[in-house]
Amino acid sequence: MMRRCFATKKPETVMNVFDRNAKKLQKERTTILKDYKVYDYVKEEIGYRTFDRICDIKREFDVLVDLGCGRGYVSKHLQKEMVKTVYQCEITELLLKQCEKPEDVITHHMVVDEEFIPFKENSIDMFVSSLSLHWVNDLPGCFRQVQKSLKNDGAFIGCMFGGDTLFELRVSLQLAETELEGGFAPHISPFTDVRDLGSLLNNSDFTLLTIDVDEMTVIYPGIKELMHDLKGMGENNCAWSRKPMLHRNTIELANEKYKEMFGKEGGIPATFQIINFIGWKPDPSQAKPAKRGSGQVSFADLHKINEPTKDKDISNDEDKHSK
């Protein structure tokens, strides 16, 4: 299984894995589909979950940026009580034209590449990004630009596909291609894992980090239907190392192996692993961890925390305070 790996110490390794122009074209091709909304089920679901995480922050924000907004999967749910102004940003104008806006919130559309963020320093209250950053080559640079654009105590909330996404499809294609062609090429893009994402956010000077992992499993009739839907989502492979085509017999054998290894009643499962994260730009007002050695209770004594306090100890404390 391929993963994108980044150095845990500065300077980070900047990867050149993806053809960004190809990804732009893939997204634009989805806009000409008459039934494009049919393919948005994963992004709609995860977008709403990301919005729900924003709701947990009880604060009104002046300016929010939805980076890689797609068709507004997150920001269309925002309310005027939460934010005053929203910038919906995508790499292609054609996708922005299909982007849904939130009601009663001032909204602007901007063509923005996630690797080149145009906002001024200390100008944004919150950045949001849902299922877009896994196509970015320079994640360290992207995160640093986000951090720089945020105001102090500003939030960065988002999610990315994790390393176990579509592992069933990856394994099936590799086995089929190896058997028929004597080797395989990567047909599923490499994804970031939790450890790398945490290191990147930390190295970009985000604080109070929260990272968790979720999974979404979708059942498809077969491998062709799965690959067709991925193309409709604009989530087909854009890695430089991708092969231009898959042979029909390879796809058929991969479908057989998929069903043999992972098949369930009703079809084949496809796993989408979602890495959710929240990071904050440092500010003096934020809570800070206690100094090392300032604790009053040893970890070795934690098992005693529910034991009743002895009467003798209480009386001694009261005597001391009365003197």
User: pLDDT tens across 245-263, in order?
Assistant: 788 999 999 999 999 999 9
Q: What is the pTM of this model?
A: 0.83
Q: What is the pLDDT of residue 301?
A: 67
Q: For 71-78, what is the mean pLDDT?
A: 97
Residues 229, 50: Cα–Cα separation, whole Å: 22
Q: What is the pLDDT of residues 285-297, one digit of tens each?
A: 887 766 666 666 6
Q: For 257-279, what is the mean pLDDT?
A: 95
Does residue 221 register a pLDDT over 90? Answer: yes
Q: Which residue did the predictor score with more confidence, 318 or 162? A: 162
Q: What is the pLDDT of residue 80?
A: 94
The residue type at 96: L
Residues 228, 165: Cα–Cα separation, whole Å: 17
Does residue 87 register a pLDDT over 50? Answer: yes
**Residues 130 and 40 sit within 8 Å (Cβ to Cβ):** no
The Cβ of residue 218 has, within 10 Å, a number of other Cβ atoms equal to 15
Alpha helix locations (H) across the chain?
Answer: 20-30, 41-55, 93-96, 139-149, 167-181, 194-203, 223-233, 248-262, 311-322
Q: What is the pLDDT of residue 296?
A: 67
Q: For 200-226, what is the mean pLDDT?
A: 96
Q: Which residue did the predictor score with more confidence, 72 or 18? A: 72
Domain ranges of the chain: 20-284
Q: What is the pLDDT of residues 3-28, one digit of tens each?
A: 444 444 445 556 688 899 999 999 99
Q: What is the pLDDT of residue 193?
A: 84
**Residues 127 and 148 sit within 8 Å (Cβ to Cβ):** no
CATH of domain 20-284: 3.40.50.150
Q: How many CA atoms lie within 13 A of 8 on its CB side?
A: 6
Q: What percent of the chain has pLDDT over 70?
A: 82
